A and B are shown apart, each in its own frame.
Chain A
Amino acid sequence: MNVILIAVIILGVVGLVSAVMLYAASKKFAVVEDERIGKVAEVLPQANCGGCGYPGCSGFAAACVKAADGGSLEGKLCPVGGQAVMEKVAGILGMAVEKAVPKVAVVRCNGTCANRPRVVEFDGVRSCRVQLLSGTGETACAFGCLGGGDCVSVCQFGAISINPETGIAEVDEKRCTACGACVKACPRKVIELRPKGPMSHRMVVLCVNRDKGAVANKVCKASCIGCGKCVKTCQFEAITLNNNLAYIDPAKCKLCRKCEEACPKGAIHAINFPPRKPKAEKPAVAAAPAQKAAPAVAEEKKEA
């Protein structure tokens, strides 16, 4: 009986002392966490992809709260959640959110097996970085997509894949969240994040070859040779020519598609545009109004 009593008393006293110490410690060393961070983190997609530039979703939430205290959410964008999530975040923090431009990853290479002949065979590990160690890869092009799939292995959303027929990477626009992981992974900097554009319509130079025209022409049928015809054609000064390579500035491009026609190599592509009405060889009277109607529709879409 005595033994039990002693044990109970000792345990009771130890428990009491510990409780007092813990209470004191919890008051003394309390970490005041902004409860908004937790709330913001809850509405984020929890993909932890790092596309926003912060270490994971909680890091981004903390950065948003800090930015909100600073007065503006400018420049903060969750690429996965997009506009909808940012509006929720802004709601929690009592801020207004600017309209973000939705972006998408674009593989700027059209060196398909048909366009860009394979000159050697690579027998090692299917990885772009490994291929680069031994040379320019399977084609003679020193700039384009290697088709090794480094971008595929880093994409968390299954949005990018190597098309076995063309041998180059392809982006599934519905799945792409523009987190930018593939852009970082691509050792040749072929992939670029570009604004999706109205109705997902956009004009892109699908080539990154900076060799001189004669060389670029030899290695690939669809390469940009830096001839500058598109630059002259563009009325909006949206196209620049640097290092024998044309680049279309998405902010200035008005999607008129004139450069597409001007490009002698077919390196400029109009993506997601409805197929053009085939030009009738002998323009019939009935066809004329239809042809005129098409540009009008395009202009309406542009304004929308």
Chain B
Amino acid sequence: MKTFKIGGVHPSENKFSAGAPVRRAGLPKQAVFSLYQHIGAPAKPVVAKGDVVKVGTMLAEADGFVSVPVHSSVSGKVSKIDAIVDASGYRRPAIFVDVEGDEWEESIDRTPDLVTLDRHPELTAEEIVSRIKAAGIVGMGGATFPCHVKLTPPKGTKAECVIINAVECEPYLTADHRLMLEKPDEILVGVSLIMKAVGVNKGYIGIENNKPDAIALLTEKAKAYPGIEVVPLRVKYPQGGEKQLIAAVTGREVPAPPALPIHVGAVVQNVGTTFAIYEAVMKNKPLFERVITVTGKDVKNPSNLLARIGTPMAQLVEECGGMPEDTGKVIGGGPMMGKALMNLEVPVCKGSSGLLLLSEKEARRMEPQPCIRCAKCVDACPMGLEPYLLATASALRNWELAEENHITSCIECGSCQYTCPSMRPILDNVRMGKTTVMALIRARNAK
């Protein structure tokens, strides 16, 4: 079975919510839409206080090419445009909407029927990309990079294949898994849309072997879609990393930055994004809801919720049986790459793939011990770096040494810190060094 060659770890999977069908989360009383839900320039508000909006109304427009619009997920009245404290504690501009009823824009096709590409042969590649852009779609695996930018290959590069990231290698998370089981046809149509948009006739769907039901279902259904192939992959973290997935599926290595996946001819999209693309292009539905996994060892009812964007996280926790008593940490995303939330009033964003509640004991880090030079971190690093060296160089503020050893290639997957028997905070230091070195490089290039 295929997998990537260098490094990788296998944390315990803990996919408690794998058997829980996706259910709708309730509407919030007030929805909050951050203007910073994507990488790139923040969106620019186009509504004012007191405006009446429907589900799907555009609230803020894209400000530049690397930017996407934000749409309302609820109907009601814009109560204010103010700042919210986001997951990291900083204040960010956001649009607040008081919810009244649930009235959708008429342009959205709410019927459940499948619309295949054969029914719309007139759709051109440009048309597909522009619809994706108008729907405000971003990479929904967590990176939140605007989707239309990825589907517009830079000059001098040519896409050869589309790879769908259905790996979901983060422990605990099951949102993508459930989506594949419940919307296989929609996803496959989405894949053919992406293939048409970038002009290729080969599409792979990479799924890890711990989801045999999804592999079987999609392989069966894919027979009806020419050019789409399901690739089962051996379970290994971080297979969901873009570069690792390309290496696993095609055997090609993406060179060090600034090279992009497109330089080896690959366009990678997350499976959740693929479903959103289907809905945007075929159903005219902007991105305003997504599946999010709410889970944890002590959560009463670990679930996959279809939540409207802008719903406060606290409400999702309530819907899954409330906050367990000894919760020590709440993580947005998975346990490996997710970020601890500063407060629970943070709204669901386009990139929120999971909400993980850890107990006090699980959350607590162990006391770091001296490095014993076992080189486990070197073996685990999927980018072939030397994490112990990068961590030490960063801690000693030796930025030249860190840069020479390719700290900017680090994908911050955390395999090094996970595998360290001395519980050393390797990634903390490497991440700090990486941001510093990147800032130094930017300053140098700006001169």
- Residues in chain A within 8 A of chain B (CB atoms): 119-120, 123-125, 127, 129-130, 133-137, 140, 142, 154, 211, 215
A154: nearest residue on chain B (CB-CB)? B397
A136-B89, A136-B90, A215-B91 known, 13 other contacts, Cβ within 8 Å: A119-B342, A120-B89, A123-B363, A127-B429, A129-B435, A130-B432, A133-B428, A133-B431, A134-B340, A135-B90, A136-B88, A140-B89, A140-B342
B363 contact set on A, CB distance < 8 A: 123
| Structural contact, B342 and A129, CB atoms closer than 8 A | no
**Is B436 part of the binding interface, using a Cβ–Cβ cutoff of 8 Å?**
yes
B91 contact set on A, CB distance < 8 A: 142, 211, 215
| Structural contact, B425 and A142, CB atoms closer than 8 A | no
- A133 and B435 alpha carbons, distance in the complex (Å): 9
| Structural contact, A124 and B365, CB atoms closer than 8 A | yes
| Closest-CB distance, A181 to chain B (whole angstroms) | 11
**Is B249 part of the binding interface, using a Cβ–Cβ cutoff of 8 Å?**
no
A136 contact set on B, CB distance < 8 A: 88-90, 342
B364 contact set on A, CB distance < 8 A: 123
B429 contact set on A, CB distance < 8 A: 125, 127, 130
| Closest-CB distance, B410 to chain A (whole angstroms) | 13
B90 contact set on A, CB distance < 8 A: 135-136, 142
Using a CB-CB cutoff of 8 Å, which residues 412-446 of chain B contact chain A?
A: 425, 428-429, 431-432, 435-436
Per-residue contact bits, chain B 52-86, to A (CB 8 Å; 1 contact, 0 not): 00000000000000000000000000000000010
Q: How many pairs, one residue from A and one from B, have CB atoms within 8 Å of each other in the complex?
A: 56
Query: Secondary structure of the B side of the interface?
Result: mixed
Chain B residues with a Cβ closer than 8 Å to the other chain, count: 22
| Structural contact, A135 and B87, CB atoms closer than 8 A | yes
Question: Which of B89, B339, B343, B425 touches A125 (beta carbons < 8 Å)?
Answer: B425
B433: nearest residue on chain A (CB-CB)? A129
- A198 and B339 alpha carbons, distance in the complex (Å): 49
B87 contact set on A, CB distance < 8 A: 135
| Closest-CB distance, B78 to chain A (whole angstroms) | 21
| Structural contact, B432 and A140, CB atoms closer than 8 A | no
| Structural contact, B431 and A135, CB atoms closer than 8 A | no
| Closest-CB distance, B396 to chain A (whole angstroms) | 10
Residue picked from A120, A133, A154, most chain B C-beta under 10 Å: A133
- A38 and B206 alpha carbons, distance in the complex (Å): 68
Question: Which of A127, A137, A142, A211 touches B432 (beta carbons < 8 Å)?
Answer: A127
B425 contact set on A, CB distance < 8 A: 124-125, 130
| Closest-CB distance, A190 to chain B (whole angstroms) | 17
| Structural contact, B365 and A123, CB atoms closer than 8 A | yes
- A26 and B257 alpha carbons, distance in the complex (Å): 49
Per-residue contact bits, chain B 386-413, to A (CB 8 Å; 1 contact, 0 not): 0000000001010000000000000000
Residue picked from A136, A211, A215, most chain B C-beta under 10 Å: A136
| Structural contact, A135 and B435, CB atoms closer than 8 A | no
- A135 and B339 alpha carbons, distance in the complex (Å): 9
| Closest-CB distance, B366 to chain A (whole angstroms) | 10
| Structural contact, B342 and A125, CB atoms closer than 8 A | no
